[in-house]
Structure formats: structure tokens, C-alpha cells
Structure 1
Amino acid sequence: MEAITIKDIARALNLSTSTVSRALRGSYEINPDTKKLVLEYAEKVNYHPNPIALSLKENKSRAIGVIVPEIANHFFSQAINGIEAEAYKRGYHVVIFQSHESYERECSNIQHLVGRKVDGVLISLSGQTTHTGHLLEIQKRGVPLVVFDRITNDIETNKVIADNFQGAFQATEHLILNGRKRIAHITSPSLLYTTQERLEGYKAALAKYGIIFDENLVRYCGFAPEEARQVIFELLDTQKPDAIFTASDRLALDSFAAVKAQGIRIPDDVAFIGFTNLGVAHLLDPPLSTVVQPAFAIGKTAAEILLDTIEKKQNASEIRTIKIATELNFRQSSK
């Protein structure tokens, strides 16, 4: 028995093949009643699209590009899992590049992806990225783009992020309600959107409880492994915080280890909480309190939006910023 084709469905329903094709993709351009009719008939006759034929017919690669700062970062590995899950479900391959926090490398990654003729790009910006010309260029070429986690407001495109402000607010409030008043904040480079949002959440919680913001308790760290240790040693020596709130996986582990190396008791002397997706947080001694980003959901949602744009299920002119709630895991380190 020969496989059912789009032409067969079009002939049976007295519709054009282009209408059937768009209806099967869920295009917003197709009348809902027509879309329902086509989908129900396709299911009835057990229609399955031929991905190779689709690729040739639509002049598409059926591949999307993903650029992240570092795959080894637990957040990004989980986000990629979410991206791949959605892409696989919808018949797309995923091409992954790492920027390694380099703007120059990020630009090179973009050029490679465009050269490979991917159908769209998902990107989380590097720690050095302050200009968006390379992103504007692919938009001019008509390549759909979604920015996730590390976003920028300098470009109009769809964005998917965690609710960084609320997560930081709740973490800081938790420390305050447990009696802490000199709460240090160890965070990433100040130009990052996530850094700015988490700092604002931290400051808002202090203000709510009448604690004056002290900029001497905030420290910005680059990406060198030893830098966080040096920062925390200096902070502990000069500022005497009674709590520490860190803003990333790497900073959480480096700062936690540095505090322990100083012989400081957690949480007796210094309470500790991280904004992290560490899978081993509960295995640390004491178990680490965390604000967990919904990494898988962020990746999956970003992929959904990108693929909907590629397949014209979403109007390309509809620009959205989606915030996904964080999850709070309070353990012994912050009590």
C-alpha cells in the first residue's frame, strides 16, 4: 500500500496542496475549521510526512542552530536537553556551538550556522557580548532568532528567561527572615542581563525589610576559576557578612569551597544560598540551598517559539519575552 501524500489529502478534501501543507504545519494563516478538517482527515488515513521530501520541497535544512557559552555548565546542558526534546518531536536536528564566553567566537559561530543554512537560531549570549550587530545581520537575512537566559534588550526578537528578579528576591528574603542582615551578593559580570535582574531582586528584598543596600557587599566575578576564591577571601576578611547569596552554578561551588577553606561554619557563621542548577547541591556538607532555574522548560519553550516561527504557526511580527518561574529549594546551608 502506497503512503498517503499531501496531494491525496488535497484531492480528497477539494483543497489546494498549499492549503493542506500549511494546515498540517498548524499555520496561523489557515482558517481554524479548515485546519481541523485537514488534521482529522490526516489522522484518519494515517498520514505521515516524509522529512526528506519536506526538506527538498520547502528548501529547508530541518536543522536549528544553538549557541551557548558552555555545555559543561549544568544549566546549559539541561536547556539543550529541552531544546533537543522539542526539536526531535517536530522532526528537526540540532547543531550546537559553544562561545566559551567569547564575543569573537560567538560571531564566528553565527557565521558557521548561517553557512550551514539552518532554519533558525537559538542563542544565549557570551559574557563578552555587548554589541548585537551579528544578530541583527541574521535577522536581515530572514533567519528566525530566539534569545534565551542571557538576553539583551538591544534587539527586537523573542526571548525566554527565568524570573531572575523574583528568584533573587525570594532567596534574599529567606536569608533576612532567618535573621541575616549583612548579606553579600557574589555575582557575574555586570553587563549580563541575568546579573542585573538578580541584583535588582536582591536590592528589592533588602528595601522591603528596611536594610540599607551596601555596595561593598556586592562583588562581580569574571569566569576564571580562581577569581571567585580570591573575591570571597577578600570579602570575608573586610566585610564580615553573615550570609552569602551567589548568582550562578560556578560561583556557588567556588564560593562554598572558599568559605569552608577559611574554617567558617555554614550556616552557623555564614548562611549560604545559590542561584544554581547543580544536581549535587543536596550532597554538599551542609546541603546547599538553591534557587533553581527551570532550564529544561526554558530550552523547550525557546525551541517551541523558534519552530513555531519557522513553520509559520506564529506571526513573525509578534515579539514576546516569556518569563518562567524559578523553584526554591531551601536546605541546611541557609538556616
Structure 2
Amino acid sequence: MPNKKKVTLQTIADHLGLTVHTVSKALRGLPGMSEQTRREVIGAAGRLGYRTKEQERGMAVERIPIYSSKPRRFAFVVPHSGLVFIHQKLYEGVQARLAEFGHKLEMLFAPPDAGSDAEFDEWAETYGLLYTDGLFLTPMISARTEERLLRLSVPKILLNYPPPAAQVDSVIWDVSSAVYQSVQYLLANGHRRILYIGDIRLHRGFRMRWQAFQEAMASAGMSAEEDRHLTRAGSKDLYTRLLSDLLIREKPTAILSGLEHDLAWVYYGCSLLGRRIPDDYSLIGLEHAPNAHLPDLTRPELPIKEAGVRGADRMLWRLSNPNLPYEHIRLQGGFHKGATVLAIGKK
């Protein structure tokens, strides 16, 4: 890899087989190329450690140290239950950004929730958490373990929605905006009977999706009572029965699947009734990434890796500004207008 201080636009252009002009336009957000090319340029610039003068000026304004006199060590804490896609993408974002500055990131699994305070303290001591330069706390860590982690006297970035009055900086992709985008797109295509599917109790982000759905519907002059939607988890048999009952009773024209792991059950439940997507029901899914089985699913784009990058910036900012107020940052993504939504009248 080239010396980061010597990386130029020509370096990136040679690396990708593009012209310097194309690379420059991509990094400045100018038109004239595909979004795929733009993403490749931005990704290569990040890997090679290239920053535009505007980026360096922006980091200086935010008081983010570009150079460090020593490498720092950070811990990335994931749930005891194991990794899912969002943890992997967040880790990639945080790790890539910290590596630009010569810092190290270590992934740790949180201790079991059932453990005592003494067992938690022993775990924290074993992995030297109090001697790290900071902690990144990921989604789906149990509430009790998260509370214990938040009490540790080291800088922390919560890559999740913060609990009420939590004294911590947070960075997260904005699921509320994603739900609003979804409802607005369905409304623009003539759908008024929209069925929401997704557990609303297990995690804070899940509840926020449901609340955003209620607010988006209310803003369009419609209500969203919980008993008219599928908002709880259950066994396969219970889930499919509830879904079938709602499809028959409520007669929706569109379905908004708020959780990615429900998508397969939506298709299964529809098939039991002999119904098809999008011919009988239009569908939007809040997927964390493009679905290999449904590559053209209509969906809001959730900037998960970008949240990791931004979280790393916020950690470096916090180290340089320990006495400034806590900040909560939400990143809004775009919207993919796929093939699973049909306009009313075109079915």
C-alpha cells in the first residue's frame, strides 16, 4: 500500500483504472458517472488513506485529530449471542476509519446477561476494558449488560439509539426516516391500506420503527392501531396464523416489513393464501443489505457501514473534546425503488 502522505488523485486513478478527472468528480460529489463507480472511488480513497483538503478542513473544524503521536487501542463490543450482518458492517466501518489513523480495534463478545456484577467486573478486567482508549457498543446487547458497559469510566460511542438521558455519544442509521420514506412511497403509489409487520418490543430500534409508522400514517390522516398489525414475535405456526388472519381481515394492498428476518415469513404466509408479491400485495422491506434472493426488493437504504465510520470519527472527536456535551447522530440513507411495489391500478 502506498505511503498515505504520498497518496494523490493519480494514485487512486491508477489503482482503479480511471482518469484523474473522474476520481476528482467522484470525491467532490459531482455528476458524470455511475453510483457504482462513485462508491468504488470513495472506497479506494478510504482504503488508501486519501483525504481531500475539504475533508481535512472539516475534520479540523470538528476538532478531530488527523495525526496521533501514538496508536490507540479500542474495543468493539458485540452481543454474547453472536454476530449478525449489522455487527460485521459496523466493525468494517469503524476498523477502516481507525486504521487510517494508525489505531487498533479489538472485537469482544459481551458477557452473558445472567452474570453477576462481580462476574461482569472480572470480564472487564480480563480484557482490560478500563485500559482501552474507548469502547464501541453495538446493537442487540442486552439492556442490563449495556447499562453496565455505559457505567465504565472510559470514552464510549453507542452505535445504537441511546436510552433516555444516557450520558454517551451515539451514532446510528435512522430507521425512523427509513419508515417515513417507505410509507410515503407506498402512499405515492396509491396504497392506503398498509400492513406493518415486525416485533415492536425486543429492542429500542424496533419500537422506534413502529412509532415512526404510526406517525407517518397519522400525517396522512390514517390511524395505525396495534391490533390491526402484526407487532409481536411468535412460533412459526402462530406467526403464519396471525399473518393469514390479518391479510384476510384487513385486506391490505401493501405490506411494510419492519425487520429483515420477517421477510421470508411474509412470502410464506402469502403463499399459504395463494397470494403473490407484488401482484396481490406490494412489499417494502427494511433490509440491512440487498437480499440475494430478492435483489430488486423495494427498500430504504440503511447506511450501516457509514455509521461505523462516523462512529469512529465521533470517538476521536470525543477524545479531543472530553468536556463538550454529548451528541446523538442519525444517518439517513437513500431509497431503492425496486420491483416489489406496484401502483394501484397497475396490478
**TM-score, scaled relative to structure 1:** 0.69
**Candidates 110, 135, 142, aligned match of 2:149:** 135
Within 5 Å, which residues of 2 pair with 1:1-335?
A: 54=70, 62-68=73-79, 72-98=83-109, 103-104=113-114, 112-117=123-128, 118-126=132-140, 128-129=142-143, 133-138=147-152, 142-190=153-201, 192-222=203-233, 229=240, 231-280=242-291, 283-284=293-294, 287-309=296-318, 312-335=319-342
Conservation of the 8 A alpha-carbon contact between 1:249 and 1:278: no
Deviation at residue 130 of structure 1 after TM alignment:
6.1
CA deviation digits over 1:38-71, x for unaligned, max 9?
A: x9xx9xxxxx95xxxx47xxxx7x2323324766
Residue 79 of structure 1 aligns with an amino acid whose one-letter code is L
CA distance in 2, matches of 1:223, 1:73: 20
Give the corresponding residue for 1:3: none
Residue 180 of structure 1 aligns with an amino acid whose one-letter code is H
CA distance in 1, matches of 2:306, 2:120: 24
Distance 1:292 1:308, change over 3 A: same
Residue segments in structure 2 that go unaligned for 5+ positions in a row: 1-59, 343-347
Deviation at residue 103 of structure 1 after TM alignment:
3.9
Secondary structure, in 3 states, of the residue corresponding to 2:320? coil
Conservation of the 8 A alpha-carbon contact between 1:185 and 1:246: yes
Give the corresponding residue for 1:23: none
CA deviation digits over 1:271-309, x for unaligned, max 9?
A: 11011123226x528x31111210011111112212333
Deviation at residue 268 of structure 1 after TM alignment:
2.0
CA distance in 2, matches of 1:113, 1:256: 43
CA distance in 2, matches of 1:80, 1:226: 36
Secondary structure, in 3 states, of the residue corresponding to 2:277? coil
Conservation of the 8 A alpha-carbon contact between 1:294 and 1:326: yes
Conservation of the 8 A alpha-carbon contact between 1:71 and 1:77: no
**TM-score, scaled relative to structure 2:** 0.67
Conservation of the 8 A alpha-carbon contact between 1:64 and 1:122: yes
Deviation at residue 145 of structure 1 after TM alignment:
1.2
Conservation of the 8 A alpha-carbon contact between 2:298 and 2:337: yes
Residue 321 of structure 1 aligns with an amino acid whose one-letter code is H
CA RMSD between the two structures: 3.4
Conservation of the 8 A alpha-carbon contact between 1:184 and 1:244: yes
CA distance in 1, matches of 2:248, 2:176: 29
Distance 1:136 1:123, change over 3 A: closer
Distance 1:211 1:189, change over 3 A: closer
Deviation at residue 270 of structure 1 after TM alignment:
1.0
Secondary structure, in 3 states, of the residue corresponding to 2:316? helix
Residue segments in structure 1 that go unaligned for 5+ positions in a row: 1-31, 43-47
CA distance in 2, matches of 1:80, 1:230: 38
Secondary structure, in 3 states, of the residue corresponding to 2:340? helix
Give the share of equivalent positions with the same residue, in percent. Answer: 18
Secondary structure, in 3 states, of the residue corresponding to 1:259? helix
Conservation of the 8 A alpha-carbon contact between 1:124 and 1:148: yes
Higher relative contact order (CA 8 A, sep 6+): 1
Please say which of residues 253-262 and 225-234 is displaced more in the overlay: 225-234
- Asked which structure has the greater CA Rg, the reply is 1
Residue 73 of structure 1 aligns with an amino acid whose one-letter code is V
Q: How many residues align?
A: 275
Distance 1:143 1:72, change over 3 A: closer
